[in-house]
């Protein structure tokens, strides 16, 4: 089957790589006693011993590759397993091409580790631009237990303008890797191909929230105090004859002051920053809607709720309960990261009855937030408030569904009764 003196290469392959390999006419896969010998010598690590089983399971087979006549993959690096095995294996055309700055380096230790087929040696990490697939850097001798954070720092040394918070490092062009993920636990061989995306200039989350929430607070007052340029000169600095308008101003201010306090003292954001450009979008949303709502609620022609005090009292009680609930959930979520751990955990109900909504939904803070805006709509009986509430509900439902799916994916023992945002419904 092979020449007398032939060199064989073996590697662990994923399903996708195996099927690609089988498509390639130049590749000869052999399953013979050599494979058994190798397996005996290098027994596979039991799945339970691996920290990230879901990744480990992706490696499904051991392939033995001969050296076909034509084509060399050395200059066309694909996924690591492919290239390690892959002298003579043609990489599929859609795999990234090695750029002009590519280097193939490997010390004796790397070579020895490679020959032995173990993961004991250093790793090589090549980082490609996620769009152009051009190679941006090639890091050799990366410790197997290096985290993505450390790789970001190495990359930053080479490209000082891309500080770590600006970098999105991905294993495939869709999903960013988290800082704490460890290189050897990723589904890669000893040569890892990662993708880099520039997230643009960054701004801290706390600053973002402070800017976002301070705006509505002050904008609302411009309308409440009827500044000269708002409703016309005749109405300047007048006040509404309806007590509910004062109440609405108190509730609106309370809501945003609470959010500011939570931002500073309660939330522990795992992502330190967000792209600067997003702040314009977010501010337009929060500030614009605050102005719109305030304009109608404080308008001289505003008419109070149809059912008078009963409606207002009901709405105020509901508003306060929802605010208390929202705050309690934020405290419960913050407690999950009390010891500084940034690992995502399943949030559970605590002794605080407001957190018992966790029995039924994944994101009770959103449920309470929607409740807050529904009660504000009932209180003011104002169409723009109702529209804003609807928009908030849609936005938070999308996010809640996303978070719910992530919980289901990450935790096998995730409580099955929970829905994303509305108990038993949605």
Ligand X SMILES: NC(=O)c1ccc[n+]([C@@H]2O[C@H](COP(=O)([O-])OP(=O)(O)OC[C@H]3O[C@@H](n4cnc5c(N)ncnc54)[C@H](OP(=O)(O)O)[C@@H]3O)[C@@H](O)[C@H]2O)c1
Q: Which is nearer to ligand X, 118 or 343 (CB)?
A: 343
Q: Which is nearer to ligand X, 121 or 347 (CB)?
A: 347
- Site for ligand X (CB under 6 A): how many residues? 20
Side-chain-side CA neighbours of 347 within 13 Å: the count stands at: 26
Q: Is 365 in the site for ligand X (CB under 6 A)?
A: yes
Least Å distance between CB 370 and ligand X? Answer: 8
Q: Which of 54, 74, 268, 409 binds ligand X (CB under 6 A)?
A: 268
Residue 241 vs residues 274, 300, 346, 377: alpha-carbon distances, Å: 43, 9, 49, 19
Nearest to 177, CA basis, from 154, 196, 162, 163 = 196
In contact, 373 and 389? CB cutoff 8 Å:
yes
Site for ligand X in 334-363 (CB under 6 A): 336-337, 344-345, 347, 363
Least Å distance between CB 358 and ligand X? Answer: 11
Least Å distance between CB 203 and ligand X? Answer: 15
Alpha carbons 9 and 190: distance in angstroms, whole number: 14
Q: Which is nearer to ligand X, 138 or 388 (CB)?
A: 388
Q: Which is nearer to ligand X, 73 or 421 (CB)?
A: 421
DSSP class of residue 116 equals H
The residue of the chain with the least Cβ separation from ligand X equals 270
Least Å distance between CB 373 and ligand X? Answer: 7
Residues with Cβ within 8 Å of residue 347, at least 6 apart in sequence:
329, 332, 333, 336, 358
Least Å distance between CB 178 and ligand X? Answer: 10
Alpha carbons 16 and 9: distance in angstroms, whole number: 19
Alpha carbons 266 and 40: distance in angstroms, whole number: 54
Q: Which is nearer to ligand X, 307 or 399 (CB)?
A: 399
Element (DSSP H or E) covering residue 29: none
Nearest to 329, CA basis, from 360, 374, 290 = 360
Site for ligand X in 388-417 (CB under 6 A): 392, 395-396, 399
Q: Which of 97, 214, 270, 352 binds ligand X (CB under 6 A)?
A: 270
Q: What SS3 state is found at 301?
A: coil
Q: Which of 326, 367, 377, 381 binds ligand X (CB under 6 A)?
A: 326
Instruction: Please identify, among the stretches 44-52, 98-106, 179-187, 262-270, the one whose residues bind ligand X according to the rule CB under 6 A.
Output: 262-270
Q: Which is nearer to ligand X, 308 or 415 (CB)?
A: 415
**Burial class (CB within 10 angstroms; exposed 0-12, middle 13-18, buried 19+) of 51:** exposed
Least Å distance between CB 282 and ligand X? Answer: 10
Q: Which is nearer to ligand X, 235 or 335 (CB)?
A: 335
Residues with Cβ within 8 Å of residue 111, at least 6 apart in sequence:
none
Site residues, ligand X (CB under 6 A)? 267-271, 326, 333, 336-337, 344-345, 347, 363, 365-366, 369, 392, 395-396, 399
């Amino acid at each position: 089957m092979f020449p007398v003196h032939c060199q064989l290469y073996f590697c662990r392959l994923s399903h996708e790589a195996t099927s690609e390999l089988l498509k390639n006419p130049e590749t000869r896969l052999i399953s013979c006693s050599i494979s058994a010998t190798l397996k005996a010598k290098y027994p596979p690590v039991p799945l339970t011993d691996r920290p990230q089983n879901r990744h480990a399971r992706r490696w499904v087979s051991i392939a033995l590759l001969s050296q076909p006549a034509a084509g060399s993959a050395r200059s066309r690096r694909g996924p690591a397993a492919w290239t390690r095995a892959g002298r003579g294996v043609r990489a599929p055309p859609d795999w990234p091409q090695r750029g002009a700055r590519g280097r193939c380096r490997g010390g004796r230790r790397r070579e020895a580790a490679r020959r032995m087929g173990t993961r004991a040696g250093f790793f090589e990490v090549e980082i490609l631009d996620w769009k152009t697939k051009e190679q941006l850097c090639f890091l050799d001798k990366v410790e197997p237990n290096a985290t993505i954070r450390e790789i970001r720092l190495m990359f930053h040394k080479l490209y000082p303008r891309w500080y770590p918070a600006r970098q999105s490092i991905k294993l495939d062009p869709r999903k960013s890797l988290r800082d704490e993920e460890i290189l050897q636990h990723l589904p890669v061989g000893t040569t890892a191909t990662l993708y880099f995306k520039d997230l643009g200039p960054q701004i801290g989350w706390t600053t973002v929230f402070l800017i976002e929430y301070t705006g509505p607070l002050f904008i609302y007052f411009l309308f409440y105090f009827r500044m000269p340029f708002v409703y016309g000169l005749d109405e300047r600095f007048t006040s509404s004859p309806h007590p509910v308008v004062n109440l609405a101003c108190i509730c609106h201010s309370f809501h945003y002051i609470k959010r500011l306090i939570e931002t500073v003292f309660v939330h522990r954001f795992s992502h330190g920053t967000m792209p600067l450009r997003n702040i314009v979008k977010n501010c337009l949303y929060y500030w614009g809607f605050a102005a719109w709502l305030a304009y109608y609620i404080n308008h001289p022609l505003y008419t109070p709720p149809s059912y008078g005090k009963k409606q207002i009292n009901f709405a105020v009680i509901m508003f306060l309960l929802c605010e208390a609930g929202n705050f309690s959930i934020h405290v419960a979520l913050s407690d999950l990261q009390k010891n500084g751990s940034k690992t995502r955990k399943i949030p559970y109900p605590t002794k605080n009855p407001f957190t018992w909504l966790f029995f039924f939904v994944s994101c009770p803070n959103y449920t309470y937030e929607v409740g807050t805006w529904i009660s504000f709509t009932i209180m003011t009986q104002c169409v723009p408030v109702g529209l804003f509430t609807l928009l908030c509900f849609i936005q938070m439902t999308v996010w809640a569904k996303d978070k719910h799916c992530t919980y289901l994916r990450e935790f096998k023992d995730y409580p099955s009764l929970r829905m994303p945002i509305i108990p038993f419904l949605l």
